[in-house]
Structure 1
Amino acid sequence: MEKIQMKVYQLIQASIEQNVSDIHFNIRDDRKEILFRSHKKTVRRIIDDDALHIFNHLKYLARFDLSQTVAQTGVFTIVVDFKEYYIRFAAVQSFDLRSGVVRILNLNAISSFEQSVYRESDRNRISHLLSEESGIIVFTGRTGSGKSTTLFNCVSSVKGRQVYSLENPVERYNSDWIQIEVKSYVEPLTQLLRHDPDIVILGEIRSEEDVGELIRAGLSGHLVVATMHAGSLIQALRRLMDLGASIYDMVEILKGIVYQEMKRNQDGEVIVEYEIAGIETIKRLLDKTAAYQ
């Protein structure tokens, strides 16, 4: 076990030293592969006969239910060179494949609204959305675009309002918030709304049940903020509709969508570009979406 613990530590340490936030595991009987990936590109490939043991130890660290083979996600911390890192591990397995992704959540610590959103005009528009008393704001983008970090830093910039979050799992901590780790939003949301929060964060919207709870919370008179995977503003609306939201729901309570995308500038540096839709833009996009139904 000490050997495997050391290998986990060394993998994460190497990832940090190479400034790579994601470590992928692809494990079959005939292939035990570990990939270091950065901005969708593989930068290092490792073949290790102990990959399955490392994978299983990561499940233990992330507090998975080891009796289940369904997809699970968990978070743990590790100290490397006197700094504490937050590690998210997501894994799924089938009969002949085990697949997992380690993400170092605070590798490149973007810890402020200004660092997340560098254009003042974009910050002003997001701040205006977050000044709403009620309704829904969705932060969206592709996998790995940093939308959870953006949401966290944007809401953290709001002062004087009571923030409650329901997350699965809790990835980042704010001492001013009340953060609750949940498996489902249904019952915890009912209890949470009795505490009269100003802002409710629903970590990620993945399913029809999640969208139902998002709308229920949005109709309760609170401001609700969430993240969701989508490839554009209009895809975000289509995804909400696919998961059960009606056009009427969205016209009534969807106050804003913040879409972000990672791009490379002329110098090859990775930057984040934002598209921000308020109520009027959302209505126009919904009209366009409805025309294709």
Structure 2
Amino acid sequence: MNVEQECFLLIASAVRSQASDVHLVPNEKRTDVRYRIAGSLSHQKKLSSSQAERLISHFKFTSGMDIGNRRKPQNGSLELQVEHRRLSLRLSTVPTVQGESLVIRLHSLKSLISVSDLCLFPKDVDQLKSWTHLRSGLCLLTGPTGTGKTTTLYSLLNERLELQKEQIVSLEDPVEKKHDHILQLEVNEDAGLSYGHLLKDVLRHDPDVIVIGEIRDQETASLVIRAALTGHVVFASLHAPDPYSALLRMIEFGIPNRDLSQCLQSITTQRLVKRRCPYCLSACTSLCIPQRSAVFATLNHTHIQKILSSDYQRNEMKLPSVFHSILKGVALGFIDQSELNRDFTYQGRNEFAEKIMVPAKTSSVAEPPSTTFR
């Protein structure tokens, strides 16, 4: 079997396992192959160091990286047809003391999930679909890397296109999902094509909707606000743990409260959680692939205006929290309780402890009602 076939079989195996990422991790004698499935890394097999080097070199060559340079991190991308599915692969290599490590992110180019199928709770569907009817203003989607923000944004854009024909322009680094009816521009910092530079040109290209992959700096934040204030619909992502922190981040970028109050329509934080398996009920067997859904916490325009008002006091309004959405899902039996221990701040955990009135001498968490699927 040649190296090209080995690389193809590795990706095909990952696709069959519904993996989102493939990791090749070197150690002293072998290289571990791991798949990220439903958010968790699982060991698949071991490769000899020489075999792993061949695979990594082939992936680097086909994705446009320099195969002769193993001393600096590199990024690349390629497209591949696997089992009647067109995939976009994003590749990243980094040098380690044990050798070169490779991570491959898998994206399906054609599959678009509807907003209704993304959400665990119906109220989140209604809040997100309100974005599809906006005629102007800014909507922010926040959350850690790998929580499905890009999937959510493209699902919303697809639903907008089904409602009306619009000129939609996206700025991404890199473009993760290709779409025939969206003008997609790729950021290239090395070539001087930053988010800020591209956004200035996009504003002269008669867009109805502008999508910004990430607000990274003050210049981009200012241009995004300018676009929203001049009658455009702008969807953008921002790295922040919750909606309130995202609002503070925009203020730190120097955006006046007056402008935020006028154009910021919604701030939504997203997390992916494992749904409780209706067949296994507890830990799934190796034959069962865990399914995930998204939960959200949203500050709407009314919330934002109240927070930005001069007389706002933090403790006078209950702010939405992803933690409380997870807690609700656990209580209803939709989500496994193990999700409570992942990705949440101590503040959220303390709020939870206060709500369930844990005695002072114990740190245990009360069990939710034992609700199961029938």
Q: Deviations over 1:16-37 (max 9, x none)?
A: 1222221123346666333112
**How many pairs are equivalent?**
289
Task: Give the C-alpha shift of residue 177 in structure 1.
Answer: 1.5
Is the contact between residue 137 and residue 255 of structure 1 (CA under 8 Å) also seen in structure 2?
A: yes
Q: State which structure, 1 or 2, has the greater radius of gyration over its C-alpha atoms.
A: 2
Residue identity matched to 2:268: V
Q: Which moved more, 1:118-127 or 1:224-233?
A: 118-127
- 2:181 aligned residue: 176
Question: Which runs of 5 or more residues in structure 2 are unaligned?
Answer: 189-193, 282-290, 315-374
Is the contact between residue 28 and residue 98 of structure 1 (CA under 8 Å) also seen in structure 2?
A: no
- 2:202 aligned residue: 192
Is the contact between residue 122 and residue 274 of structure 1 (CA under 8 Å) also seen in structure 2?
A: yes
Q: Distance in 1 between matches of 2:228 and 2:102?
A: 34
Aligned counterpart in structure 2 of residue 221 of structure 1, from 219, 222, 231:
231
Task: Give the C-alpha shift of residue 164 in structure 1.
Answer: 0.9
Q: Distance in 2 between matches of 1:211 and 1:79?
A: 38
The 4+ residue runs of structure 1 with deviation greater than 6 A are 65-70, 94-97
Pick 1 or 2: higher relative contact order, CA cutoff 8 A, min separation 6. Answer: 1
Q: Deviations over 1:95-116 (max 9, x none)?
A: 7764442122129944323322
- 2:247 aligned residue: 237
Q: Does 1:261 align with 2:271?
A: yes
Q: Distance in 2 between matches of 1:56 and 1:285?
A: 52
- 1:17 aligned residue: 16
Is the contact between residue 86 and residue 109 of structure 2 (CA under 8 Å) also seen in structure 1?
A: no
Q: Distance in 2 between matches of 1:146 and 1:255?
A: 21
TM-score by length of 2: 0.66
Identical aligned pairs, as a percentage?
26
Structure number with the higher strand fraction is 1
After superposition, the Cα gap between the structure-2 partners of 1:219 and 1:59, relative to the gap in structure 1 and judged at 3 Å, is farther
Aligned-CA RMSD value: 3.4
Task: Give the C-alpha shift of residue 276 in structure 1.
Answer: 2.3
Aligned counterpart in structure 1 of residue 255 of structure 2, from 246, 254, 258:
246
Question: Which runs of 5 or more residues in structure 1 are unaligned?
Answer: none
Q: Does 1:122 align with 2:144?
A: no
Q: Distance in 2 between matches of 1:260 and 1:5?
A: 38
Q: Deviations over 1:139-182 (max 9, x none)?
A: 22222221110100111111222111112221112222211222
Q: Deviations over 1:231-264 (max 9, x none)?
A: 322233344455x243525334322122221223
Q: Distance in 2 between matches of 1:241 and 1:95?
A: 41
After superposition, the Cα gap between the structure-2 partners of 1:215 and 1:32, relative to the gap in structure 1 and judged at 3 Å, is farther
Q: Distance in 2 between matches of 1:77 and 1:6?
A: 15
Q: Distance in 2 between matches of 1:96 and 1:251?
A: 52
